[in-house]
Chains A and B, each alone.
Chain A
Amino acid sequence: MMIPFRLAGRLRTSRLARSTAGSAVVEAAIATPLMLMLTMGIVETARYLYANMTMQSVAAGAAGELARDAEVDVVRVADFLLGAGQLAAPFEFDADGQVVLSVVQGRTDAPAEIVWQARDMRPGQATSRIGAVGGQAALPAGLTLSAGETVAVAEVFYALQPLLGVTPSFNGIYKTAVLRPRVGELSIPQ
């Protein structure tokens, strides 16, 4: 172990300063917390990446469910929203996740508009980042809709909880999926 220079000067003649007994223990005491933090960081990062992939597949499944029928099937969509946590296994989606589904329609000489929206009833009130019903839709860059054209948009919000509660939380995973309807254009039930 290194002895600070001034201290070493004072203790030059003492046996204590020259003794290297126990230096490995002292070094281990310094290095172990660092090693543990590094390991935890690796584990948390891997988990974060895994959660990102999982939430992307939840978004794809959600948009697929909405895009399937010619007319939005509100009963099926509501059922899907309630059961969507199963797509996110092994993550605890029911406590920390939220799905927002929207139908966006193109307008003549105006930005695309959100014509329908549904969210699940899970705790947490994530706000849709594409907008609210009746408002202008913030679609992904490069996606423009011609008048009357519709797309199904799924947004998935997930607050990943750290494993031990000590590492910084990578909060706020946000994934979207945008699908064109399977059959013609999506219509909204009156």
Chain B
Amino acid sequence: MKRMLKNTDGTAAIEFAASGFALITVFVMLLEAASMYFAQGVLESAVDRAARFAVTGSAPSGMTREERLLQLVSSMSLGMIDTTGVQIQTSSYSSYQAAGTAGAGSAGLGGSGDVLKIEAAMTWPGLTPLMQVVTGAIHLGASAVVRAERF
């Protein structure tokens, strides 16, 4: 019994068993945080690009603007974002000031010279079930506000 207590063989394995779980949890959460910010970045770039083509007044061929935006989100996120969970809202306003006022806009992309707001929202489920346990589902959102060209 005494010999067994003095024996230090295998201490590394035991210590790793104790601390490894915490260490791996930290790594997974780092990955989770990074991928969440990536998803947020994708949403922001996608609405910016969508705003870019919305101001020209041109419609993408064979699809609606919303479908085009979802397509952008999907391709820019390398497939990490399931676009069925992405909600898109477009509204138009007479001025930038009006765009900052709730309920002042009308749905759709408006006409020449209007101020457009494109909003995308989604629930980010996380990469692993750990995210669900730690933070629950996270709501991400991005918006772009821009004045349409005179077309």
Contacts and interface: CB of A to CB of B under 8 A. Distances in A.
B65 interface: no
B131 interface: no
Interface string B110-124: 000001010000000
Nearest to A54: B44
A162 interface: no
Interface string A65-96: 10010000000100110111111010000000
Contacts, number: 31
B145 A86 contact: yes
A128 interface: no
B146 to A, nearest CB: 7
Interface of A: 46, 57, 61, 65, 68, 76, 79-80, 82-87, 89
B97 A87 contact: no
B145 A83 contact: yes
B146 A83 contact: no
A33 to B, nearest CB: 19
Report the 6 A-B pairs with minimum CB-CB distance, sorted nearest first.
Answer: A83-B96, A86-B145, A79-B95, A79-B96, A82-B97, A83-B97
7 contacts: A68-B147, A68-B149, A80-B96, A80-B147, A82-B97, A83-B95, A87-B145
Contacts of B143: 86, 89
Chain A: interface secondary structure? Answer: helix
B100 interface: yes
A82 B146 contact: no
Contacts of B97: 79, 82-83
Interface in B97-140: 97, 99-100, 115, 117
Most buried by B among A84, A85, A86: A86
Contacts of B100: 83, 85-86
Contacts of A85: 100
Contacts of B149: 68
A57 B48 contact: yes
B79 to A, nearest CB: 24
Contacts of A57: 48
Contacts of B145: 83, 86-87
A157 B96 CA distance: 20
Contacts of A89: 143
Contacts of A68: 147, 149
A6 B71 CA distance: 71
A76 B115 CA distance: 11
Nearest to B93: A83
B69 to A, nearest CB: 18
